[in-house]
Structure 1
Amino acid sequence: MVFAAVGVFAYGGIVHLGDLLGVRPGGPNLSMPIWLMWYFASLTVFDPLAALLLALRRIEGLLLGCVVLASDAVANGYANYVLDSAPGVTLGRIGQAIITALAVALIAAAPRASPWLHRPGRFRPDRTV
């Protein structure tokens, strides 16, 4: 589960970097509120950070990942249902549903994954040598 989450966050970082650079079709447009553009831009840092912390088996990565996915689902919901006036199912709405499912899955799996992760101050190298 943790390895899958690392892949999801690495992919998310690449997608949001592509949005920031304007190379991904269907990414954010300039009519989007500035706070929402700043939020999506911040994910170019927070997605890879969550991936790195999870890869290092840090509990902070799991907590950051839960916050990032849940807030990303809410932000995409706002962008795709409030700001987008297109009727019916759109690619953005499908993507938002996937992000929501990933957020629910990670939050639900967090209690089972957390014992496998290192907590701050609990990692003590063996110094008996």
Structure 2
Amino acid sequence: METAAGTPRWAGVPRRIRVVVVAAAGVLAYGGIVHLGDLVGLRPGGPDASSTPGWLLLYFTSLTVLDPLAALLLALRRLEGLFLGCAILVTDAAANGYANYVLDGTAGVTPGRVGQAVITALAVALLLATPAVAPWLRRPGGLWN
């Protein structure tokens, strides 16, 4: 993919930065698929609409759009994608924590709690990588610059 100026979008960006961005975009794209599966009822163990608060269902539903949007913005080398990705992962970890520790009365380790721990680890990893990645992404301006 090239920019309007004809140079490859990722020219000059160190490999380690590209790896982090591709991994983050992949995680976010996967998250969008998972949340879409929850929305259409294809994933067993997804949020139960009868016992999950409406605000939480609305949040998880919004991730069907926000996750892929952040992944796309990252693929376009946009700073907004990095910040949106961080916000999504942090709030998703918190929302899943609420769902798995407050709403779910099951004792011990559950698949939902393992998933919440993974999301939390991914959120921390992206937050820690942000200072190194951000300088290599394009600042807000025109969408395609």
Select which of 96, 102, 106 maps to 1:76. 96
Select which of 49, 52, 55 maps to 1:32. 52
2:110 maps to amino acid: T
Q: Aligned to 2:140, what secondary structure does the other structure show? A: coil
Distance 1:15 1:83 in 2: 20
Q: CA deviation at 1:124?
A: 9.8
What is the aligned residue count? 125
Percentage identity across paired residues of the two chains = 70
Higher helix fraction (1 or 2):
1
Distance 1:121 1:51 in 2: 18
Q: Which runs of 5+ in 1 are unaligned?
A: none
Q: CA deviation at 1:116?
A: 1.1
Q: Which runs of 5+ in 2 are unaligned?
A: 1-19
Alignment of 1:116 with 2:136, yes or no, is yes
Correspondence for 1:54: 74
Alignment of 1:107 with 2:123, yes or no, is no
Select which of 4, 7, 23 maps to 2:42. 23
What whole-Å deviation, never above 9, does each CA across 1:74-112 have from its counterpart, x for those lacking one?
A: 000000000000000000000000000000000110000
Distance 2:59 2:144 in 1: 36
Distance 2:41 2:53 in 1: 17
Distance 1:7 1:120 in 2: 22
Correspondence for 1:97: 117
With structure 2 as the length reference, what TM-score do the two structures score?
Answer: 0.83
Q: Aligned to 2:102, what secondary structure does the other structure show? A: helix
What whole-Å deviation, never above 9, does each CA across 1:22-79 have from its counterpart, x for those lacking one?
A: 0100000021000000000000000000000000000000000000000000000000
TM superposition outliers: structure 1 runs of 4+ over 2 Å: 121-125
2:39 maps to amino acid: L
With structure 1 as the length reference, what TM-score do the two structures score?
Answer: 0.93
Distance 1:44 1:33 in 2: 18
Correspondence for 1:12: 31
Structure-2 change in CA distance of 1:70 and 1:124 (3 Å): closer
Structure-2 change in CA distance of 1:15 and 1:122 (3 Å): closer
Structure-2 change in CA distance of 1:124 and 1:8 (3 Å): closer
